[in-house]
């Protein structure tokens, strides 16, 4: 029986152990998609206590706490940080077989060298020990990134964001590259005219222009796209239920845009056509600059209206949706590819039923211009756990080239989430190690070790070419 979370955690054979320790363990990290705060990094923020760095904004933990019968005041309420931590500590023993149990103890070990299991009894001593360590200079925001060998951090930013902290970082001497990512979801959110017009007012201010027509909208987004590029941005991102790829005419799009500007609601058909037009224009901008476009598809968000009104979005009331993906994806990519204007692309699906769909779709639009031009993104959100990662990598292996995969990212709001890369690497090495032990792959550790290092680091470095 193996001890819990020992050095060979998740590694189920001697070959898997060798692959991880000799090839994967010490590779640097390129975090090409996350939700970290640019301000916290640029200002090298330190954290007063474990709750502030660990529980604030972490809806994974909040969901578990609610399921354990913990009152909302201990999640998003105004209870003390200590009481919130104690409430989570009481919940941890009930997360057995949930990835939170692994992540929680990995993070305590890797950042604080705390190997004791977290529960109500151990919590006060762990709180004191972790907080004491957090007060040291090497546990500041920038110190934590260096500790985890992070080379690049790509934050997620709205077109209206000032990017002042990216500017500050670009002028400094910190050896971790922090770059913005262009996330224009709100520029497509025409479903609610009032909110949309309020957003356009911000966009007008950011782009220093007026937006009285659909053409003006394109021009304003281009201004901001250019500004993001000036600060090193090389990726866009879209969080969508599904891709929009309806046929439309310029006249239709202008008509629908004018309706929204007048505060009038659009029909579902009009909404879909207008979103299709905006998404297509954004894709053209990405291709023109050589960016990579990312699509996070399939989340059913804000299911609980009462809690949305009370505490807002991104608080743990989202789930996997059952949206149809194939036809729209094919039409969208094909429209861009017809004129050879399809940018490098990463597709992340939230519903695991779509794994083979995505695994085959990417093969339709790889054109030999760059290895893995169209990528099947790593297990995302509800799928960024052992089983979900294995499903994604097995589907990609069966249908494409796992060897060209750009690997893991954190997709996290917490600076303590980088052990998720270790988690991924252990799972990856175990997959290869098992195949070698079973005689399904050759015992060529040089070949397979290089493949693992490519997936962990080199593929992303070559694919994005950050500078």
11-31: average pLDDT: 98
* 115 pLDDT more than 90: yes
Burial call 352-382: b when 16+ CB within 10 Å, e when fewer: bebbebbbebbeebbeeeeebbbbbbbbbbb
What is the rounded distance in angstroms from the CA atom of residue 91 to the CA atom of residue 64? 7
416-439 pLDDT tens trace: 999 999 999 999 999 999 999 999
* 103 pLDDT more than 80: yes
Distance of CA 287 to the CA centre of its chain: 21
What is the rounded distance in angstroms from the CA atom of residue 311 to the CA atom of residue 313? 7
Distance of CA 2 to the CA centre of its chain: 32
DSSP state of 3: P
Number of other CB atoms surrounding residue 231 within 10 Å: 16
Burial of residue 465 (number of CB atoms within 10 Å: 0-12, 13-18, 19+): exposed
Number of other CB atoms surrounding residue 441 within 10 Å: 17
Q: Around 152, how many Cα atoms within 13 Å sit in the side-chain half-sphere? A: 23
CATH class of the domain at 47-139: mainly alpha
130-138: average pLDDT: 96
pLDDT at 32: 98
What is the rounded distance in angstroms from the CA atom of residue 364 to the CA atom of residue 98? 36
pLDDT at 1: 85
Angle at 78 between CA 74 and CA 84, to 5 degrees: 30
DSSP secondary structure of 97-156:
TSHHHHHHHHHHHHHH---SPPSTTTHHHHHHHHHHHHTSGGGSHHHHHHHTTEEEEE--
62-71 pLDDT tens trace: 999 999 999 9
| Superfamily of domain covering 14-46+143-464 | Metal-dependent hydrolases (3.20.20.140)
Q: Output the six-digit token pair for 164.
A: 């002042």
Report the DSSP beta bridge partners of residue 425: none
pLDDT at 235: 98
SS3 assignment, position 347:
strand
SS3 assignment, position 288:
helix
Mean pLDDT of the chain: 97
320-329 pLDDT tens trace: 999 999 999 9
2 falls in which pLDDT band (50, 70, 90)? confident
* 467 pLDDT more than 80: no
Q: Are strands 177-179 and 299-300 parallel, antiparallel or unpaired?
A: unpaired
343-359: average pLDDT: 98
390 falls in which pLDDT band (50, 70, 90)? very high
Let me know how many helices (H) and strands (E) the chain has, helices first. 21, 10
Residues of the chain with CATH 1.10.2020.10: 47-139
Give the pTM: 0.97
Backbone angles phi, psi at 374, to 5 degrees: -105, 115
202-209: average pLDDT: 98
pLDDT at 197: 98
Residues of the chain with CATH 3.20.20.140: 14-46+143-464
217-252 pLDDT tens trace: 999 999 999 999 999 999 999 999 999 999 999 999
Residue 171, C-beta contacts closer than 8 angstroms, at least 6 positions apart = none
What is the rounded distance in angstroms from the CA atom of residue 40 to the CA atom of residue 43? 5
DSSP secondary structure of 356-369:
HHHHHHHHHH--SS
What is the rounded distance in angstroms from the CA atom of residue 338 to the CA atom of residue 148? 43
């Amino acid at each position: 029986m193996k001890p819990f979370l020992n050095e060979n955690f998740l590694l189920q054979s001697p070959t898997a152990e060798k692959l991880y320790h000799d090839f994967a363990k010490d590779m640097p990290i390129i975090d090409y998609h996350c939700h970290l705060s640019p301000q916290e990094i640029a200002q090298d923020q330190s954290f007063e206590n474990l709750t502030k760095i660990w529980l604030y904004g972490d809806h994974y933990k909040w969901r578990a706490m609610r399921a354990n019968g913990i009152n909302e005041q201990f999640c998003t309420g105004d209870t003390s940080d200590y009481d919130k931590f104690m409430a989570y500590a009481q919940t941890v023993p009930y997360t057995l077989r949930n990835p939170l149990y692994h992540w929680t103890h990995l993070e305590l070990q890797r950042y604080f060298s705390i190997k004791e299991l977290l529960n109500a009894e151990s919590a006060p001593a762990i709180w004191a020990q972790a907080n004491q360590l957090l007060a040291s200079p090497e546990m500041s925001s920038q110190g934590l990134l260096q500790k985890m060998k992070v080379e690049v951090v790509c934050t997620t930013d709205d077109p209206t964001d000032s990017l002042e902290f990216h500017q500050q970082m670009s002028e400094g001497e910190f050896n971790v590259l922090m770059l913005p990512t262009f996330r224009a979801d709100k520029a497509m959110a025409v479903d609610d005219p009032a909110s949309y017009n309020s957003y356009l007012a911000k966009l007008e201010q950011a782009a220093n222009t007026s937006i009285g027509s659909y053409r003006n909208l394109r021009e304003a987004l281009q201004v901001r796209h250019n500004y993001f590029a000036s600060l090193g941005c090389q990726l866009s991102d879209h969080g969508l239920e599904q891709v929009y790829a309806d046929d439309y005419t310029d006249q239709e799009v202008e008509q629908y845009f004018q309706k929204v500007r007048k505060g009038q609601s659009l029909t579902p058909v009009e909404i879909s056509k207008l979103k299709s037009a905006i998404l297509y224009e954004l894709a053209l901008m990405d291709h023109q600059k050589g960016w990579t476009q990312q699509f996070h598809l399939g989340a059913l968000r804000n299911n609980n209206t009462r809690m949305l009104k009370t505490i807002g979005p991104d608080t743990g009331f989202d789930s996997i949706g059952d949206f149809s993906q194939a036809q729209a994806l094919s039409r969208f990519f094909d429209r861009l590819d017809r004129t050879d204007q399809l940018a490098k692309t990463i597709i992340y699906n939230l519903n695991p039923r779509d794994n083979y769909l995505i695994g085959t779709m990417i093969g339709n639009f790889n054109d030999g211009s760059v290895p893995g031009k169209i990528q099947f993104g790593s297990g995302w959100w509800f799928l960024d756990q052992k089983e979900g990662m294995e499903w994604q990598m097995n589907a990609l292996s069966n249908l494409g080239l796992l060897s060209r995969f750009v690997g893991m990212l954190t997709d996290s709001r917490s600076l303590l989430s980088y052990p998720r890369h270790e988690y991924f690497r252990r799972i990856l090495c175990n997959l290869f190690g098992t195949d070698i032990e079973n005689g399904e792959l050759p015992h060529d550790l040089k070949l397979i070790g290089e493949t693992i290092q490519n997936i962990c680091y080199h593929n992303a470095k070559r694919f994005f070419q950050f500078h």
